[in-house]
């Protein structure tokens, strides 16, 4: 008798979450546009109702230092949670 085991396949999708000081929708829309230009192929959104004004990025490769630098260069605080 051959024993079969199931191993779920892993995807390469990662999720990184950042604490920011982004305050409103117009700021978040501007930043999503800028981040998307510099980091293509990822999904980006903000949760401005969260106490940490969370930036969430999902994709295969997320260059965390680059995200923080882009946010800082545009005048915003950004810290990996």
Q: Tokens for 43, please give them.
A: 């999904």
What is the rounded CA–CA span in Å between residue 62 and residue 9?
Answer: 21
Domain that holds residue 59: 14-80
**Residue 1 forms part of a structural domain:** no
Domain tally, the chain: 1
Residue 25 CB contacts under 8 Å (≥ 6 apart), including other chains: 48
In angstroms, the CA 31 to CA 55 distance is 10
Instruction: Kindly report, residue by residue over 18-70, the tens digit of the pLDDT.
Output: 999 999 999 999 999 999 999 999 999 999 999 999 999 999 999 999 999 99
Is pLDDT of 8 > 60?
A: no
What confidence score (pLDDT) does residue 12 get?
74
CATH number of the domain where residue 32 is located:
3.30.70.100
**pLDDT beyond 60 at 3:** no
Show the tokens assigned to 7.
């191993």
In a domain, 4, yes or no: no
φ/ψ (deg, to 5) at 24: -145, 170
Residue 7 has pLDDT above 60, yes or no: no
Q: What is the pTM of this model?
A: 0.83
């Amino acid at each position: 008798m051959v024993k079969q085991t199931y191993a779920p396949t892993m995807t390469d999708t990662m999720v990184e979450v950042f604490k920011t000081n982004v305050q409103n929708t117009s700021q978040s829309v501007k930043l999503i546009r800028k981040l998307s230009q510099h980091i293509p192929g990822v999904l980006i959104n903000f949760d401005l109702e969260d106490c940490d004004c969370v930036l969430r990025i999902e994709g295969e490769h997320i260059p965390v230092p680059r995200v923080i630098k882009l946010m800082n260069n545009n005048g915003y605080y950004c810290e990996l949670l």
